[in-house]
Amino acid sequence: MAEKIATRVAYGDALAELGAKNDKVVVLDADLSCSTQTARFAKVFPDRFFNVGIAEANLVGISAGMSTMGLIPFCSTFAMFGAGRAYEQVRNSVAYPHFNVKLCMTHAGVSVGEDGGSHQSIEDLALMRVIPGMTVIVPADANETRKAVFALAEMDGPAYLRLGRLASPVFDNDLPFEIGKANVLRDGKDVAVFACGLMVAEALEAAKILEAEGISAAVINVHTIKPIDSACVAEYAQKCGKVFTVEEHSVIGGLGDAVADVLIGKVACGFHKIGVNDQFGQSGKAPEVLKEYGLTAPQIAETIKAGL
């Protein structure tokens, strides 16, 4: 995992590639195309790119309308604005009629860094996950992001793709991607660690630290939060007996709660959520902010040790 690429950058590249293969794909942005990387699509397909300005509700509404014409809108802005400010439009104009709109939002989580708590969306997974019929995906690296973009273009219905600002490691192994199916990146017997997004790489490093201390940790990449891979979650919870979830999101409503929903009343196991504990983010360099919230590999390893 030497190379680092932000998932938002991989998203921009994937869109441009997808646009050449599928002329029904259109891209919409709210005056943030350089940050969301949709400018890459705009450069190649200017007639299929629409900048609606700083008007996120209109962004989602126009995307909904375009989907009724047989187009496949990929709709992008910052997660705070797309999942937060435009929530009503996402719910009522896209999800309620089950329109084929792909909501691909970047700058999610506390790793946004210097923009601070006002822009660090740590509630977006909870907001999107609760909407009926909404598919929710958090890719772990650049390769998975590309596969997710192409998979979303093939599936029918609304979806939320969570992307990051910070460059993150690209995995050496080229794993298959299927919506709703988790990937076991590392097997283990003492503890099962379910992670998503930026935290997958941290969880893998944490597992190496734990291995050196005689603790065998399985690491499962849960790229699809909804529909979650219930069979995989239950299998590893039963196998290991202790479960930890790791996410760059509030511990309320995100991956941790999705995993808990699978296990509660069905699998007897120890359970602990690692994430942002009911507080807002704050401004700082991304690595320092992640450390402030206990989301680095050494801290994750320590939390798991303490929980065992």
Give the residue numbers marked as catalytic.
56
Name the residue with tokens 């590893």: 236
Whether 283 contacts 115, CB under 8 Å:
yes
Nearest CA among 254, 298, 303, 259 for reference residue 276: 254
Whether 308 contacts 191, CB under 8 Å:
yes
Q: Is 6 exposed, middle or buried (0-12, 13-18, 19+ CB in 10 A)?
A: buried
Please provide the DSSP assignment of 209-231 as one string. HHHTTT--EEEEE--EEES--HH
- How far apart (Å, rounded) are the C-alpha atoms in residues 275 and 291? 11
Whether 226 contacts 135, CB under 8 Å:
yes
Contacts of 59 by beta carbon, 8 Å cutoff, 6+ apart? 28, 29, 30, 52, 75, 77, 82, 86
- How far apart (Å, rounded) are the C-alpha atoms in residues 192 and 13? 33
